[in-house]
Structure 1
């Protein structure tokens, strides 16, 4: 890749994701190497892998199931931390910023300093990203199988997916506030594992290799049988009045994380975009790529990588398995994750109160079509 001109010292690099574009590995690298990047004049904002609570407080979004809303003061504390960094470059990275509406974007821009803010967003081919997004939704409680969900996404221009991930919709929403000159688009290269780490190293003038992905930093996708097991669990076991914390702890951070600790079974393929979806996705991608070129955004990578072929490169496997076909080791790993999650922290009640009222576990959270 050609050399990238670093952002000026004192820049507040706001990385807005979106989800499923390689952000986890980048955030993990920054978080585990805080001291090293600080020695080179870069402050990674927040204390954890990403400042999730603070960003949710800013955006006013509902957040994950079981999330306890925080007061706006936690965002204000993060702003004070960023201010204290002075002329250091600062990285604020959180995929939940992709959920921000204009008022939240305007506040972030004002709070961090209009003369300092530079927004970075990733772009990834739709046919590669949609199966990952559906899988993430299943881990959050979605009960719908992939094909009906995907048909709804493609048919509904107001679907949450386009708000969070749209090549032009998400980009334009931020550009309207910060200006197109303060946005960098990074096109994900699926064939180059180190592309994103090198991009951030050059943007921030860091030593080559400092952010190189480390073991455990990637957020591996679930295989077809793994995600189907979780979806069926959502259908069978999740009553409408369970506390959100129950699903969050035992399924999202219990069963699914346990399955991800093991290499994926080669006999259990990934979920793939079906043949029928390629033509409409290709048409949309073509239109949006032309719009991004015309807008004149700074682009790192090749926008042509966003083109979706009009036909699948290889036949997709069925996404909904026959009953009884989920592998036994998948079920065992999921069960062990639930047990570990139960033992790791104090128990929590299944329902919010003795009457069984509590946070509903429906098919989505936040905006329409989640």
Structure 2
């Protein structure tokens, strides 16, 4: 029976990719130290989609939430489940998840980031999840109180009320995302502190993340989404084709030359919202790992909205993207051409190894 289960529930764009990379890159070391990461990163993602009964989930996958929970319950030590999509579960789904892991001690970890950076991150994630709404339309929806999905799935107070209320106060944690310029492994150390992972146990590579796209690149993707119609629906077909061949292979590689974000005309409004959020968290009984002051926006610069780009800028980026996709296609062709030769080479090596083993056995029998 598991002793403790740590549920890291998100939110997206709060360093979860970096934390998960450290965990999975060191899963064997963690396992030897008594920490189980059940399944794999893909398995935990599939289980999250099953738990949420998401419309885009693949119904025939192996890893359901019940299967993941059963594996967790059998482990005699501590268990870590980390998926930023868990924070979007509704009340009933969250309750089912916690109940399925008992009688282990269930601990809930949420992460929070300042709203100045969170607003554009949420919109970008929605575009990368096949949405087609404009950035300005999203910001107006937030101002008019019509963006419940944003508040419920991307802000710590709402996620903690859904998940944290299911466990005792001493098992609820809020990790604040350090500001730019902080020590590069500080976020990991905050998570490790909660889970009781000793310093030095895990090998910490250079922090990696899910890189943001620039204003032109994300606007190009938004328009592609609209043009797709019913082709490549979310989730698997879209990920296999659009993410693999356009987003990951080309758009991410272009860098983030033209950043976008909330305009300075909304700076005071964002500061007021941040203070409200901090007050909510001060009043909510949980352990803060970091500093609530980090939820206050600090560096607020004027940026370009993707809505403001002219067609000439987008045409240039579109042409460069096509060129990039041609290079990507060529590399896939080269890989496909090499594949039969590589397979044959592996088979020959395996056969040679088998012959050597048989010769050794024959020699031993003769002697």
Select 1:11's aligned residue among 4, 25, 34: 4
Native 8 Å contact 1:50 1:94 kept in 2 = no
Task: For structure 1, list consecutive stretches of 5 or more residues without a partner in the other structure.
Answer: 1-8, 346-370
Distance 1:129 1:10, change over 3 A: same
Tell me the distance in 1 between the aligned counterparts of 2:206 and 2:51. Answer: 32
Distance 1:14 1:230, change over 3 A: same
Tell me the distance in 1 between the aligned counterparts of 2:42 and 2:61. Answer: 20
**Which structure features the higher share of helix residues?**
2
Distance 1:188 1:243, change over 3 A: closer
Tell me the distance in 2 between the aligned counterparts of 1:297 and 1:242. Answer: 42
Report the equivalent of 1:270: 259
Distance 1:323 1:261, change over 3 A: closer
How far apart are residue 30 of structure 1 and its match?
1.0
Tell me the distance in 2 between the aligned counterparts of 1:72 and 1:330. Answer: 36
- Structure 1, 181-190 or 215-224: larger mean CA deviation: 215-224
Report the equivalent of 1:41: 34
Native 8 Å contact 1:225 1:330 kept in 2 = no
Distance 1:72 1:174, change over 3 A: farther
Tell me the distance in 2 between the aligned counterparts of 1:343 and 1:51. Answer: 33
- Structure 1, 198-207 or 98-107: larger mean CA deviation: 198-207
Tell me the distance in 2 between the aligned counterparts of 1:27 and 1:135. Answer: 21
How far apart are residue 308 of structure 1 and its match?
3.5
Distance 1:77 1:117, change over 3 A: same
Higher-Rg structure is: 2
Task: For structure 2, list consecutive stretches of 5 or more residues without a partner in the other structure.
Answer: 337-367
1:54 aligns with 2:47: yes
Native 8 Å contact 1:255 1:335 kept in 2 = no
Q: Describe the superposition over 1:314-353 as per-residue Cα deviations: whole angstroms up to 9, x where unpaired.
A: 21123232113133434433555578789999xxxxxxxx
Tell me the distance in 2 between the aligned counterparts of 1:159 and 1:339. Answer: 44
Tell me the distance in 2 between the aligned counterparts of 1:201 and 1:295. Answer: 23
- Structure 1, 327-336 or 286-295: larger mean CA deviation: 327-336
Native 8 Å contact 1:254 1:341 kept in 2 = no
Say which SS state the counterpart of residue 64 (structure 2) adopts.
Answer: helix
TM-score, structure 2 normalization:
0.80
Native 8 Å contact 2:172 2:286 kept in 1 = yes
Q: Describe the superposition over 1:89-124 as per-residue Cα deviations: whole angstroms up to 9, x where unpaired.
A: 110111111111111111111111155100001000
Report the equivalent of 1:317: 304
Distance 1:22 1:242, change over 3 A: closer
How far apart are residue 196 of structure 1 and its match?
1.7
Report the equivalent of 1:154: 143
Tell me the distance in 1 between the aligned counterparts of 2:288 and 2:264. Answer: 30
How far apart are residue 213 of structure 1 and its match?
4.8
Report the equivalent of 1:6: none
Tell me the distance in 1 between the aligned counterparts of 2:66 and 2:156. Answer: 30
Tell me the distance in 2 between the aligned counterparts of 1:28 and 1:50. Answer: 15
Native 8 Å contact 2:72 2:79 kept in 1 = yes
TM-score, structure 1 normalization:
0.79
The total of aligned residue pairs comes to: 328
